[in-house]
């Protein structure tokens, strides 16, 4: 039994939002309220950037109605950022803010880069002798965090993608055109988990159904094979639905298309445009009609089409983070562990932050069929349980009711931070 640590807790969110990131926030708040050693429950606005600015709010002051509504509210309720801590002055400032507000528990919801930030803060606190317990809460639609079976946010995004692709295919089929090629571009960065999820739009016993072709970052892309694949589909079907991951690469490992805006603070290329690239290839090579649609932010914000399983597991991850910290754990991230039985079950565990930070989990090669454009039974078995159930989203005047925090500010104790 570890020694009890009394003080305040701070919860923050980072990176791209998901439709269930706020369910993890609700889980963490609800669990923190159950422990006397946690005296105050603060939220950091806009991730680590807001912490540097000492922008903290009192989450315990929020109504239970608002906390419950977080479970069906997309976006990051606390605000997020893609700010990279680089300077020693920035790391020093984080600990100064923690000391000024007696922060003894820090929970950071995010993906690879966010867990790296949490790991560095945890190790700095230990080095300085400041008693602090840091637990990461997994979050990314990309599903590319290592050590965890899957990540909160993934089940909902592939439920939306598969549903949308199925609806688009129904529209395309009704057009009665023999030369209609529809390209659907999805997120996922350099891993193809989201694109692969589009396969759930069709039953495995109906191989002729859409999506007909799925192009993954894990499979090197060549224009010649792509055009041959499309022609093969159009020889049998009246239309062709193609799904492509934004991180598609050529045989040399170069992205086939990147956004002109360059890179983010962590050095990641701003991806986008793979769908338009494929559309141009079709039109120029085959002289037929093609359309491209980019699902964009909608795929990570569509709470009305989110997975109940995903939502419940996100809440569980938030609870587990607080439970682990109170029990004495630190410098860990909550992981989701799949049960071994035929019926899907999921429990939580922990993994060292240093193992997760900046790692990337790719689709297993054996889950991609030999044709390189369809998914195997193993993927269906993995992904189908994650999209089960529907979140009950309340509506008013025909649109969803979403939570909005009151954001009661915590008084600043320090002078403003000097940014670079």
In sequence order, the 6+-apart residues with CB closer than 8 A to the CB of 241 are: 165, 168, 169, 172, 182, 184, 210, 211, 212, 213
Q: Which candidate in 142, 149, 310, 331 is catalytic? A: 142
Concatenate the DSSP letters of all residues of 286-307 into one string: H---EEEEE-TTHHHH-GGG-B
* Cα distances (angstroms) measured from residue 96 to each of 7, 52, 99, 108, 143: 15, 9, 5, 18, 34
CA distance 326 to 2: 9
Contact 160, 298 (CB under 8 A): yes
227 HSE (CA, 13 A, CB side): 13
116 labelled catalytic: no
List beta partners, residue 86.
none
Contact 216, 195 (CB under 8 A): yes
CA distance 99 to 104: 8
Residue indicated by tokens 């950071």: 108
- Active-site residues: which are they? 142
């Amino acid at each position: 039994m570890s020694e009890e640590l009394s003080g305040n807790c701070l919860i923050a969110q980072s990176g791209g939002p998901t439709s269930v990131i706020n369910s993890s926030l609700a889980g963490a708040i609800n669990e923190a309220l159950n422990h006397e050693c946690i005296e105050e429950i603060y939220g950091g606005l806009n991730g680590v950037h807001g912490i540097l600015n000492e922008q903290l709010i009192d989450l315990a002051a929020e109504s239970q109605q608002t906390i419950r509504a977080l479970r069906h509210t997309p976006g990051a309720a606390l605000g997020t950022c893609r700010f990279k801590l680089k300077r020693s002055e920035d790391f020093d400032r984080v600990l100064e803010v923690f000391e000024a507000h007696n922060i003894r528990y820090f929970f950071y919801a995010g993906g690879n880069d966010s867990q790296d930030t949490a790991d560095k803060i945890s190790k700095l606190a230990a080095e300085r002798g400041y008693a602090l317990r840091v637990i990461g809460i997994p979050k990314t639609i990309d599903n590319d965090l290592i050590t965890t079976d899957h990540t909160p946010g993934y089940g909902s995004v592939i439920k939306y993608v598969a549903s949308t692709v199925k609806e688009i295919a129904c529209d395309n089929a009704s057009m009665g055109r023999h030369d209609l090629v529809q390209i659907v571009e999805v997120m996922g960065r350099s891993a193809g988990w989201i694109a692969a999820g589009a396969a759930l739009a069709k039953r495995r016993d109906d191989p002729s159904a859409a999506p007909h072709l799925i192009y993954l970052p894990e499979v090197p892309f060549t224009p010649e094979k792509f055009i041959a694949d499309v022609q093969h589909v159009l020889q049998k079907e009246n239309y062709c639905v193609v799904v492509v991951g934004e991180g598609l690469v050529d045989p040399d490992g170069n992205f086939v298309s990147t956004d002109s805006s360059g890179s983010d603070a962590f050095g990641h290329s701003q991806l986008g445009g793979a769908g338009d690239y494929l559309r141009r290839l079709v039109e120029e090579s085959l002289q037929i009609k093609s359309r491209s649609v980019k699902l964009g932010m909608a795929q990570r914000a569509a709470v009305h089409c989110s997975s109940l399983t995903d939502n419940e597991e996100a809440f569980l991850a938030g609870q587990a983070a607080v439970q682990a910290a109170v029990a004495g754990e630190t410098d860990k991230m909550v992981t989701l562990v799949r049960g071994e039985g035929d019926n899907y079950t999921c429990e939580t565990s922990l993994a060292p932050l240093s193992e997760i930070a900046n790692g990337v989990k790719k689709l297993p090669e054996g889950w991609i069929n030999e044709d390189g454009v369809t998914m195997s039974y193993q993927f269906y078995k993995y992904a189908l349980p994650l999209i089960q159930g529907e979140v009950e989203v309340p509506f008013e005047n025909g649109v969803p009711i979403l939570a909005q925090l009151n954001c009661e500010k915590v008084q600043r104790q320090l002078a403003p931070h000097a940014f670079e």
